[in-house]
Structure 1
């Protein structure tokens, strides 16, 4: 995988809306501005808003080519060192016909987002570029009161340092979901829930492999399209998956996971890490389904760590696509064994 260059204070990051145009809505502008302010004040970065990023929900939906135009321009802009998505959504895959894949390959840059942004990450992955399944502008950077230190430290270790990322410990606490993004709530801190840490739910031992995965629902929806990775991409991989705020019902979760099993994905991978379901919804049900499907697949020996702090969780750590990682179910540890960026 080709790695982007690391960030330094004073560097410029571009803001794009590749999924929902929520960041451009007037009722959300206070939060958009708060996220930008954190990029500037917490990390010492300059922020460049791409031309169509804040044009609102309707415009962004109706003009997928303009979304792609912003991404293409940010990739080719020599001043821009990183690209950060505003938020997820549900149809970023529509921008694919308009992507300048030559620019994508020739100008590797830090690229971050999660949820629907999974589809964008896979566009990069299929072209050999490592990106960050990580924070988005409206969620992590714009957290009420202040950013979570766990997230801040992950950003610094992943984007600002060319040293190996190393062990990623579980967050002590998880933010409660549900506080609406009304401006009158901006000075209300979301409650912190105690986090029990990583849980081993299948297999045992220590395994290593390259990282691939994303949001479970998006990953499922890409099946059968030209965007879904070739089956060989899963050989010796560490698969990472997490579910969204939709809280997919267990019966559908089981069906979709079984489809992945029938594709032969689980037979190829070395290990799995599973993100904590947002707000713990269906926590035990999902866990039981994972164990059931892996048993059906004859993959009861694959080490699986559960309740991980990525994706639809705040705080979160960053998962760089394609990098070598290690799952240790004996000591309940997870490590990324190389740097995500170069000098």
Structure 2
């Protein structure tokens, strides 16, 4: 296995960039954003530094790329945090200055549409971090989830192995950002039922690659993903977004990864717990349970012709549900189906 290139870590008191390379939602929900910034300062003891497009909706992709490049170029900035996801970051990454990014590697934190940046950094040889959002996780109503915060703190400040844990409770029904009062109380949570394992009993150790499944489909269409040879021996880590793709859509995306020759590269696949509730699709708890089962079946069915011997673990809390565990992107992971354990190296 090629050793990953982990950027240096920040220390408490450092300046960190807060950027919106995807959607400029801090402009629409400043009360949520300010709460996230306050927790970044008071609980993580990091000083956020904003850029011209951080609070701008619909900023030109070239301007967003310029801000992201500037954050990497600034020697006083020791990490870069995305405010939130969106749906057009694929138009931003072509404008990044790759020479600057290679010369100034820094930990980058983001998920969802930020899969575009994570994949871009992976192809430059820089380990990044899938997870962490100033609006979603730092500004979680009530308080940050303990599992999320412990994982984020470890990913920011430490470099050793970190054991992931199944969440004793989880949620996918967020409080409405349109109501400032909703920040005062915790979101709805459901009892956790652990991870679901399938495949042979063995330990797999490799580098991670993947992200938001729908964004990976866009990247494949744009021909911006690594080759099967480059990914050989890696662990695929995927999750689905708040757009709630159907089981059939998920099946087709994973099947298309197989047709591209990618699925056979992965001795293990780690799948995030699927989000199954949104404001325009308020499913009941039984409907959400059935939704999750259909998603698991779709991925199992898609994997079967291409990689029937993969170790697969479902319902890991790493995507659009709450809590969110941070996963090093391009970094090391151990998936042990015998001991039912997953560990990542931050």
Please state which band the TM-score falls in when normalised by the shorter chain: over 0.9
> Displacement, 1:224?
3.5
Is contact 2:254-2:302 (8 Å) kept? yes
Deviation at 1:267, TM superposition (A): 1.3
The corresponding residue for 1:317 is: 325
> Displacement of 1:317 after TM fit?
1.0
- Asked whether the 8 Å contact 1:204–1:301 carries over to 2, the reply is no
Q: Does 1:210 align with 2:207?
A: yes
Q: CA deviation at 1:155?
A: 1.5
Query: Could you tell me the TM-score, scaled by structure 1's length?
Result: 0.93
What secondary structure does 1:44 align onto? coil
Deviation of the 1:168 alpha carbon: 1.0
Separation (CA, whole Å) in 1 of partners of 2:247 and 2:149: 33
Note the 1:1-343 alignment, pairs <5 A: 1-25=4-28, 28-55=29-56, 57-58=57-58, 60=59, 63-162=60-159, 164-181=160-177, 182-279=179-276, 280=288, 282-297=291-306, 299-336=307-344, 338=345, 340=346
Structure 1 residue ranges, 4+ long, deviating more than 3 angstroms after superposition: none
What displacement does 1:176 show? 3.8
Residue 313 of structure 1 deviates from its aligned partner by 1.8
Q: Is the 8 A contact 2:172 2:320 kept in 1?
A: no
2:285 is aligned to none
Q: Once the 2 structures are TM-superposed, how far is the Cα of residue 333 of structure 1 from its aligned partner?
A: 1.0
**Structure 1 unaligned spans of 5+:** none
SS at match of 1:278: coil
Post-superposition CA distance 1:245-290 (Å, at most 9, x none): 1111112221111111111212121101000001456210111112
SS of 2:298 mapped into structure 1: helix
Contact 1:134/1:317, CA 8 A, preserved across alignment: yes
Residue 194 of structure 1: how far off its partner (Å): 1.1
CA distance in 2, matches of 1:241, 1:97: 23
Residue 132 of structure 1 aligns to a residue whose secondary structure is: strand
Distance in structure 1 (CA, Å) of the matches to 2:174 and 2:320: 12
Q: Which runs of 5+ in 2 are unaligned?
A: 277-287
Question: Residue 93 of structure 2 contacts residue 116 of structure 2 at CA under 8 Å; is this kept in 1?
Answer: no
SS in 1 for 2:173: coil
Q: How far did 1:327 drift?
A: 1.1
Q: How many angstroms apart in 1 are the aligned matches of 2:53 and 2:335?
A: 40
* Residues 202 and 337 in structure 2, CA contact (< 8 A), matched pair in contact too: yes
Between 219-228 and 268-277, the greater mean CA deviation after superposition: 219-228
1:175, 1:314 within 8 Å by CA — same for their partners in 2?
yes
Task: Output the CA distance in 1 between the equivalents of 2:264 and 2:228.
Answer: 11
Deviation at 1:175, TM superposition (A): 2.6
Q: Is the 8 A contact 1:214 1:240 kept in 2?
A: yes
Contact 2:233 2:265 in 1 (8 A): yes
- Contact 1:238–1:271 (Cα < 8 Å) also in 2: yes
Q: For each residue in 1:18-65, what CA deviation from the matched residue of structure 2 results, as whole angstroms up to 9, or x when unmatched?
A: 11111112xx1100100000000111111111122102x23x2xx111
**Superposition TM-score, scaled by structure 2 size:** 0.92
Contact 1:258–1:293, Cα closer than 8 Å, also in 2: yes
Aligned length: 330
Structure 1 residues 290 and 203 mapped into 2: Cα distance closer, same or farther (>3 Å)?
A: farther
